[in-house]
């Protein structure tokens, strides 16, 4: 099976990765009362506490800062969880693809789908804060967040497959990825706002930061405005380059995945 056939089969058999992703979510929250909403509740409490403190430190009004922080944190949870779980994608699923005929891409799609389910649960926290503190943020630009989310989903797929292959071959990179994600959270505009930096720092940590663009294409429409053309340009650039590099490696090393496992 070629790389194109693997991707095509993974998409065509959408019910396979949909069930895999859903069953994993159910397994994690088995015998709990509110299930995935526990994660949403924990995130909402964290955002609320950090919002009041961070808003004072940054001298931002709570009505503007809390929705900003909530969308940033929700998107970061999605991005960081996908990256961390991708490192063990093929390691944890080796028994699955050895015992049954399953496309490798289906595993990546399932990983992204289950994190997308969690994302839709977490977005409730933003809706709650926006309704309570800033109902004026609901504008005609809000549907553009769907476009931004679609861009993030595409990026999540190639990240899952690329990190899955690399960390399967070089197991030490899993720890390095975890450390990188932790650092990236603080050097990306998740808690703080881009206008906090100027000059070279702004260029490095905002304008050339792919995490900023991927967060902003969802956050800005939900805050009542349209992302700049440079934000979309960076997000699309990361998407195209990432998909191209991942397909190259997947085409070349796909047949070795089972042996590396």
- Alpha-carbon distance 211 to 218, whole Å? 12
On the question of pLDDT at 238 being above 90, the answer is: yes
Q: What is the pLDDT of residue 96?
A: 66
Assign residue 143 a region (left: φ > 0; alpha: ψ between -120 and 50; beta: otherwise).
Answer: alpha
Q: What is the pLDDT of residue 95?
A: 67
* pLDDT tier at 97, thresholds 50, 70, 90: low
Q: What is the pLDDT of residue 54?
A: 76
**DSSP annotation of 228:** -
Q: What is the pLDDT of residues 189-225, one digit of tens each?
A: 998 888 888 889 899 999 999 999 999 999 999 998 9
pTM: 0.90
- Alpha-carbon distance 151 to 218, whole Å? 9
On the question of pLDDT at 33 being above 70, the answer is: no
What is each CA distance from 49 to 42, 61, 70, 134, 219, in whole angstroms? 11, 14, 11, 17, 20
* pLDDT tier at 226, thresholds 50, 70, 90: very high
- Alpha-carbon distance 254 to 247, whole Å? 10
* pLDDT tier at 55, thresholds 50, 70, 90: confident
What is each CA distance from 30 to 19, 25, 35, 36, 43, in whole angstroms? 16, 9, 7, 10, 20
Q: What is the pLDDT of residue 247?
A: 93
Q: Which residues contact 14 (CB under 8 A, 6 or more apart)?
A: 109
Q: Which pair of tokens denotes residue 194?
A: 């881009």
- Alpha-carbon distance 154 to 148, whole Å? 10
**Contact, 249 vs 163, CB < 8 A?**
no
Mean pLDDT computed over 90-108: 75
* pLDDT tier at 34, thresholds 50, 70, 90: low
Share of the chain above pLDDT 90, in %: 45
- Alpha-carbon distance 153 to 151, whole Å? 5
On the question of pLDDT at 177 being above 70, the answer is: yes
On the question of pLDDT at 26 being above 90, the answer is: no
Q: Which residues contact 216 (CB under 8 A, 6 or more apart)?
A: 148, 189, 227, 231, 235
H/E stretch holding 219 reads: helix 210-222
- Alpha-carbon distance 149 to 208, whole Å? 20
- Alpha-carbon distance 51 to 46, whole Å? 8
Q: What is the pLDDT of residue 44?
A: 86
Mean pLDDT computed over 4-31: 78
* pLDDT tier at 18, thresholds 50, 70, 90: confident
Average pLDDT value for the chain: 87
**Contact, 148 vs 79, CB < 8 A?**
no
């Amino acid at each position: 099976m070629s790389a194109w056939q693997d991707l095509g089969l993974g998409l065509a058999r959408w019910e396979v990765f949909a069930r895999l992703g859903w069953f994993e979510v159910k397994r994690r929250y088995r015998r709990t009362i509110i299930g995935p909403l526990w994660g949403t509740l924990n995130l909402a409490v964290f955002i609320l506490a950090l919002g009041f403190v961070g808003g004072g430190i940054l001298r931002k009004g709570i009505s503007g800062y809390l929705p900003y922080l909530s969308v940033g944190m929700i998107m970061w949870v999605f991005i960081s969880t996908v990256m961390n779980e991708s490192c063990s994608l093929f390691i944890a699923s080796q028994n699955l693809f050895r015992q049954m005929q399953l496309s490798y891409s289906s595993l990546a799609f399932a990983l992204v789908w289950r994190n997308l389910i969690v994302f839709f649960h977490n977005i409730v926290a933003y809706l709650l804060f926006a309704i309570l503190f800033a109902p004026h943020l609901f504008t005609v630009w809000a549907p553009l967040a769907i476009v931004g989310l679609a861009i993030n989903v595409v990026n999540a797929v190639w990240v899952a497959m690329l990190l899955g292959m690399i960390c399967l071959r070089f197991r030490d990179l899993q720890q390095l990825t975890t450390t990188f994600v932790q650092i990236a959270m603080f050097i990306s505009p998740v808690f703080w706002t881009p206008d906090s930096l100027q000059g070279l720092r702004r260029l490095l940590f905002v304008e050339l930061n792919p995490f900023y663009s991927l967060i902003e294409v969802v956050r800005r429409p939900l805050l009542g405005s349209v992302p700049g053309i440079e934000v979309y340009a960076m997000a699309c650039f990361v998407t195209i380059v990432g998909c191209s590099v991942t397909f190259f490696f997947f085409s070349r090393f796909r047949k070795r995945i089972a042996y590396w496992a």
